[in-house]
Amino acid sequence: MDPALRKLIESITAKRAKTVLDHILKHGSITTADLKTRYGYSHPPRAARDVREAGISLKTTRETGPDGRPMAVYTIDEDATLHGAKGGRRAFPKTLRNALVARDGERCNLCQGTFPARALQIDHRVPYEIAGDSRGLDPAVFMLVCGSCNRAKSWSCENCPNWTTRNPVVCETCLWASPEEYQHIATEERRRLDIVWEAAETDDYDRIAVRAKKLDQDMRVLIKGIIRAAIRPKG
């Protein structure tokens, strides 16, 4: 292995990325089955993504796993890592965070919840694995999201059919990239609305919760019914 690459790998201390890399260095590759059964990672693509975000490019191939189902096999792409071809996303400078806060405020672009700026994460609208860094640090291709929404987005994107075909246009019209105006959620014909009751509004939430309990209904079903009744054409 190139000494520069080994030095880069040894500099990585994040637990999940280091686990993946240590296993590859010892065995030559790591599979999604290894990540699940040996290390207890219920979502293996997230672990591989951590490695890529740390600057180490991985090659992904497919094999049949022990259960007879397809599994991913990850190996280090030495040439791509050393020569910059999809060699991991760059660190985000403070100026980018400041620009996003100035544009959107201290809120998550997905759930619209308010958070301290330091608690929000800078996220590529179109996943880095799909579009890379082709537009550099242009604020238009980033948004601020909370940790919970970022995890939900990661899971949804990595289980989306487009994760295999990797068409950026499909991502651009998805909720996870364009929550302001979208056509689908991970290619499915769905719509999503997150509502947060702030401060004094929590009394309204509590009243809805009590009503749902009395009716033995899920709150989401009850709220949909209230909205449907309110917008239904009269007459």
Specify the pLDDT at position 88.
Answer: 46
User: Considering its fold, how many domains does the chain have in total?
Assistant: 3
Is the domain of 162 the same as that of 208? Answer: no
Is the domain of 148 the same as that of 220? Answer: no
Is the domain of 160 the same as that of 112? Answer: yes
User: Between vectors from CA 174 to CA 173 and to CA 178, what angle results, nearest 5°?
Assistant: 75
Is the domain of 166 the same as that of 207? Answer: no
Is the domain of 156 the same as that of 103? Answer: yes
Range of the structural domain that residue 51 is part of: 3-83
**pTM, two decimal places:** 0.62
As given in the structure block, the two tokens for residue 89 are 């996303």
Helix axes 44-53, 15-27, angle to 10 degrees: 90
| Beta-ladder partners of 122 | 144
Q: What is the pLDDT along the chain (235 residues), one digit of tens a residue?
A: 778 778 888 888 888 889 999 999 999 999 999 999 999 888 888 888 888 877 788 888 888 888 888 888 999 988 767 655 444 455 678 899 999 999 999 999 999 988 999 889 899 999 887 887 667 789 999 999 998 898 889 889 988 999 888 899 999 999 999 999 999 999 999 999 988 888 889 999 999 999 999 999 999 999 999 999 999 887 6
| Euclidean distance between CA atoms 61 and 63, whole angstroms | 7
State the sign of the Cα–Cα–Cα–Cα dihedral 215, 220, 226, 228: negative
Specify the pLDDT at position 90.
Answer: 52
| Euclidean distance between CA atoms 175 and 179, whole angstroms | 5
Q: Is residue 186 part of a domain?
A: no
Is the domain of 14 the same as that of 79? Answer: yes
Residue 186 φ/ψ region, left for φ over 0, alpha for ψ in the -120 to 50 degree band, beta for the rest: left
Is the domain of 14 the same as that of 33? Answer: yes
Is the domain of 63 the same as that of 109? Answer: no
State the sign of the Cα–Cα–Cα–Cα dihedral 98, 104, 106, 110: negative
Pair 180, 173: CB distance under 8 Å: no
